[in-house]
Amino acid sequence: MTLKIHIDDSAAPYEQIRAQISEQARAGVLPVGYRLPTVRGLAESLGLAANTVAKAYRALEADGVIETRGRNGTFVAAAGSAAEREASLAAQVYAEKVRRLGLTEGDAVAAVRDALRAAYGEG
């Protein structure tokens, strides 16, 4: 696992750790079941405080990207499937809400496209 923290980056170090581990898990660079370094070990190797790494690990666990197995360590979970499940649930909630509001399917899809463009920074 390779992580690079850029101190001059506008993103906080814990967010850089979270984003990089998440992306590496999603891309398969870190396969499901890969054992991550301990919080203290990763903090030392990156020259960061242990609390910074712990915060990133907590966020990754909340996102379903990693799982902590007590004293056995922290491992990459099935990140893709967890993210897909969460996205599917959010889509179901959205679909039910727009139906209750009386929007047409076309209007609902257009609203999603607009939101995705805004979220991903596209025109």
Structure tokens, 44: 């030392």
Q: How far is 33 from 42, CA to CA, in rounded Å? A: 18
Digit-coded pLDDT (tens) for 2-54: 898 988 888 899 999 999 999 998 888 998 889 999 999 999 999 999 999 99
Amino acid 26: pLDDT? 83
Digit-coded pLDDT (tens) for 77-90: 865 566 676 777 78
Amino acid 94: pLDDT? 93
Task: Judge if pTM exceeds 0.85.
Answer: no
Phi first, then psi, for residue 89 (nearest 5°) are -65, -45
- Whether 36 contacts 77, CB under 8 Å: no
Q: How far is 23 from 98, CA to CA, in rounded Å? A: 31
Confidence of residue 76 (pLDDT cuts 50, 70, 90): very high
Distances in Å between the alpha carbon of 94 and those of 65, 100, 113?
Answer: 23, 10, 13
Digit-coded pLDDT (tens) for 85-122: 677 778 888 999 999 999 999 999 999 999 999 988 87
